[in-house]
Amino acid sequence: MNINIGAIGFGWMAYDHFKKIIPKGEGVSFTAAYDIDSARLEFAQELGLKPYGNLQKFLQSEDFDTVLVATPNDSHKNLCIEALRAGKHVICEKPATLNAAELEEIIAVSKEVQKLFTVHHNRRRDRDFCIVKKAVSDGLLGKVFSIESRVQGANGIPGDWRRCKESGGGMLLDWGVHLTDQLLRLIDSPVTSVYARLNCVNYTVDDNIKILLQFENGISAQIDVMTACFLPLPRWQVLGSEGTLQIKNWECEGSIVRGAVDEVDWSLEAIKNAAGSTRTMRPRPKSTVESLPLPEVDADWQDFYRNFKQAVEGKAKLNVQPEQVLRTAKVIDLCFQSAREAKSIDHISI
Ligand code: NAD
């Protein structure tokens, strides 16, 4: 069975699906595109896609069975619902919607018309994230209690709609959604508290944000998404009872450092160090720690489409379940609420 994809919105991301995310020769084809911008349609046509300048004609087309919605964020809800009602499966770019209530509407229609609905959470298959997931699940760090996940650029926010609140712009709905979704896949425990600061440093939308999540199992997690950071901190810092994992950058340079002795030397001679008179905070002597390489992982964005094809064929469950996306959307809603009310949202279970 061949899966044929038609895109609504043939901008930067839909082109990325065309170019490198859809696996070539594996039974998934990109066949058509609808866009309100004629220049993008001309480009799609040059690439061999059938261009549509009219949404209704596009949705009635037999050229494809699945619609990829890759338009600015505020248009996702209506377009997903229209595509589902036209009898198509739907893959929506992230963030699925502007809030959880909108997403619930799409999920309800998807169930009613019995068509698949999923969201392109490609960053579940990022190498850095897969390394962290494997290290944690293999117990390399002992009992994990603190996770810091950061993406930090210094380029500001690209494009027009990403800088516009009404279009669903801002970093919480952009990268905040990715990093929250990753943490919810990593930590198998309900979120009990959400705190968010959404700073608008250079734009009218949130461009430098910080989120703190507390999980029922005791893990505290911090997310930073910065667009005005010239000296980045590590991409990941994960602390467990037996070791610390650090991934410095997108190239996945980093390591795991674990204690190699049960107890360090606390004697007075041992406190002579650059940190002054502290035994607690002096650097660990090298002989008392061991360094491990980061685990090897398979990480491939194309797996998204491989799984989607299998799900359409009834051979697998969707990797990105709508209910998982809804959980992420509920946490994002609470981030907006926390920032608005300038307080943490506690006593929850999500
Ligand atoms: P873009 O501005 O480059 O492209 C959007 C396209 O949609 C444009 O060609 C525009 O003309 C078209 N468009 C706008 N409104 C439309 C409408 N009502 N009907 C049809 N076409 C319409 O934006 P982009 O960077 O491609 O982002 C699109 C979506 O992809 C966003 O939701 C974004 O968050 C998501 N995205 C996801 C990732 C990821 O890693 N998963 C990365 C980038 C973007």
Give the per-residue pLDDT at 243: 97
Residue nearest to atom 35 of ligand 1 (CA): 93
What whole-number distance in Å separates Cα of residue 338 and Cα of residue 163? 21
Sequence letter at residue 329: A
Residue nearest to atom 43 of ligand 1 (CA): 13
Q: Is the pLDDT of residue 252 over 90?
A: yes
Q: What number is the average pLDDT over the span 290-312? A: 97
- Check if 94 has its Cβ closer than 6 Å to any atom of ligand 1: yes
- Check if 71 has its Cβ closer than 6 Å to any atom of ligand 1: yes
Distance 187 CA to ligand 1 centre (A): 30
Give the per-residue pLDDT at 270: 67
For the chain, percent of residues with pLDDT exceeding 90: 91
Give the per-residue pLDDT at 278: 86
Q: Is the pLDDT of residue 17 over 80?
A: yes
What whole-number distance in Å separates Cα of residue 172 and Cα of residue 95? 10
Helix axes 177-186, 322-341, angle to 10 degrees: 120
Give the per-residue pLDDT at 160: 86
Q: What number is the average pLDDT over the span 248-277? A: 88
- In the numeric block, the tokens 């009219």 are attached to 54
- Check if 159 has its Cβ closer than 6 Å to any atom of ligand 1: yes
Distance 69 CA to ligand 1 centre (A): 8
Q: What number is the average pLDDT over the span 273-291? A: 88
Distance 167 CA to ligand 1 centre (A): 11
- Check if 37 has its Cβ closer than 6 Å to any atom of ligand 1: yes
Q: What number is the average pLDDT over the span 37-57? A: 98
- Rounded to 10 degrees, the C-alpha dihedral 61/62/63/64 comes to 100
Q: Which of 53-62, 77-86, 280-289, 300-309 has the lowest mean pLDDT?
A: 280-289
- Check if 13 has its Cβ closer than 6 Å to any atom of ligand 1: yes
For the chain, percent of residues with pLDDT exceeding 70: 99
Provide the strand spans (E) within 26-143. 28-34, 50-52, 66-69, 89-93, 117-120
Give the chain's length.
350
Instruction: Work out the pLDDT band at 276, boundaries 50, 70, 90.
Output: confident
pLDDT tens for each residue of 184-195: 999 999 999 999
Task: Please give the number of the atom of ligand 1 that sits closest to the Cα of 69.
Answer: 29
Residue nearest to atom 12 of ligand 1 (CA): 9
Q: Mean pLDDT score of the chain, rounded to an integer?
A: 96
Is the pTM of the predicted complex or chain greater than 0.95? yes
- Check if 70 has its Cβ closer than 6 Å to any atom of ligand 1: yes
What whole-number distance in Å separates Cα of residue 146 and Cα of residue 268? 31
Distance 10 CA to ligand 1 centre (A): 7
Q: What number is the average pLDDT over the span 205-228? A: 98
Q: Is 29 left (phi over 0), alpha (psi -120 to 50) or beta?
A: beta
- Check if 120 has its Cβ closer than 6 Å to any atom of ligand 1: yes
- Check if 97 has its Cβ closer than 6 Å to any atom of ligand 1: no
Give the per-residue pLDDT at 59: 98
Q: What DSSP element (H or E) covers 196?
A: strand 191-199
Give the per-residue pLDDT at 146: 98
Q: Is the pLDDT of residue 285 over 90?
A: no
Give the per-residue pLDDT at 250: 97
Round the CA-based radius of gyration of the chain to a whole number and report it. Answer: 23
Pocket test for ligand 1, best of 12, 175, 181 (most atoms within 8 A of CB): 12
